[in-house]
Amino acid sequence: MNIPISPGRSVPGVVLALLLLLGLSILSSACTPAVQQVFPTPLPTATDTPIPSPTSTPLEPTAQPSPAVTAQVVYITTTPVFLTPRPELLFTRTPTAIPFGALRIDYFVADVTAVKPGESFLLFWSVQGVEQARIYRLTAEGEREQVWEVKREGSLLVRTREDDTNIAQFQLVIGDEITSVDQTVSIALSCTGGFFFENASPDCPQQTAAVTSPAAQQNFEHGIMVWLEAEGQIYVLFSDGGSPAWQGYTDEFKDGQPESDPSFVPPAGLLQPVRGFGLLWRNRSEIRDRLGWAVGSELAYTAQIQGDVSTLKYVLLQEGDVAELTEQGKNWRRFSVASIPATPTETETTTP
């Protein structure tokens, strides 16, 4: 069907129908709320997600404050338990001075005043201010050696030594390194044998008896030579003030050796020593230079010897005097005695 629109023209029916629908749609949208189209959200696609392997992470130590030391009181209600101290926990005690006057030795005595070397005796003591004490044996020089730890009161049996001479000394000590008190007891030692001469030293001889020996002596400008057959020794005693003051040498002369040397020509009135004395004098210039020439011939006699060259030695000289030799050549002296007369015999053939 055609609908006339203007003179001379017409509108087809299909077009008219479309226009009508369009108008109705416009009217409908004006009266009805707008509806928005909803699109569904797509679901996520499942995928494999790697899971990391567990790892150990070191923990840093957290500094903890040192616990405060708090004194605790422990009450023992049953059997007490004594802990053995660990060596690393021990500490050195700081010495504490003992109050002045607190230490006292009541007495320290012996039951004898004199003994023979090798004999025993008792020491008695009592002290105050400590529970323990010490008793020392002293050397001849007063040095402490052997020690006994003892109680504050008691007695102790001690024995002198066979080689002790003159006195035996013992010292009682109480206290510590800061404050101490000591007391010494001295016991006289009687000699087991006397000297071979009068007006001897008050010391005991190192040997209980003197030794008798054939001997020879020759005097020099600055000293003496003495030969002792019992020892096979020649002692050279210098009087020049040098050191050593005396010296002992082995007698090396043998029968058949030259007794003298003609190349040594002595000054007028002096002599060249012969045999054992001459051999030692010629071979050792230090002896020859210190002694000088002999002032007389050697003389044979009978000597007596007592003591030890390491400490004290006594030798009877040809004139009847005694030579005292001390401390390995340190010194010697000559003194007169009246108890042993010497009977010298001049000879140049029977001596060294």
- pLDDT of 159 reads 92
Q: Say yes or no: 175 and 230 in one domain.
A: no
Q: Say yes or no: 234 and 312 in one domain.
A: yes
Q: How far apart are CA 22 and CA 14, in angstroms?
A: 12
CA nearest neighbour of 133 among 117, 116, 153: 153
- pLDDT of 76 reads 47
- pLDDT of 28 reads 54
pLDDT in tens, 200-233: 665 666 656 788 999 999 999 999 999 999 999 9
Q: Domain for residue 2, yes or no?
A: no
Q: Domain for residue 202, yes or no?
A: no
Q: Domain for residue 318, yes or no?
A: yes
- pTM exceeds 0.75: no
User: Is 218 within 8 Å of 277 (Cβ atoms)?
Assistant: yes
Q: What is the CATH number of the domain that holds 121?
A: 2.60.40.1930
> What backbone phi and psi angles, to 5 degrees, belong to 289?
-70, -35
According to DSSP, residue 281 is labeled H
Q: Say yes or no: 249 and 144 in one domain.
A: no
Q: Domain for residue 54, yes or no?
A: no
Structural domain span for residue 142: 104-189
- pLDDT of 20 reads 72
User: Is 344 within 8 Å of 318 (Cβ atoms)?
Assistant: yes
The total number of structural domains that make up the chain: 2
- pLDDT of 189 reads 81
Count CB atoms within 10 A of the CB of residue 214.
14
CA nearest neighbour of 191 among 174, 181, 206, 180: 206
Q: Say yes or no: 180 and 302 in one domain.
A: no
Q: Say yes or no: 229 and 327 in one domain.
A: yes
Q: Say yes or no: 264 and 168 in one domain.
A: no
Q: Domain for residue 113, yes or no?
A: yes
- Which of the listed residues 189, 223, 242 is the one where a domain comes to its end? 189
- pLDDT of 307 reads 79
Q: What is the mean pLDDT of each run of 10 residues along the chain (352 residues)?
A: 51 65 61 50 54 53 52 48 48 54 89 87 93 92 92 94 83 90 90 69 64 94 95 94 92 92 93 95 94 95 82 87 86 76 41 54
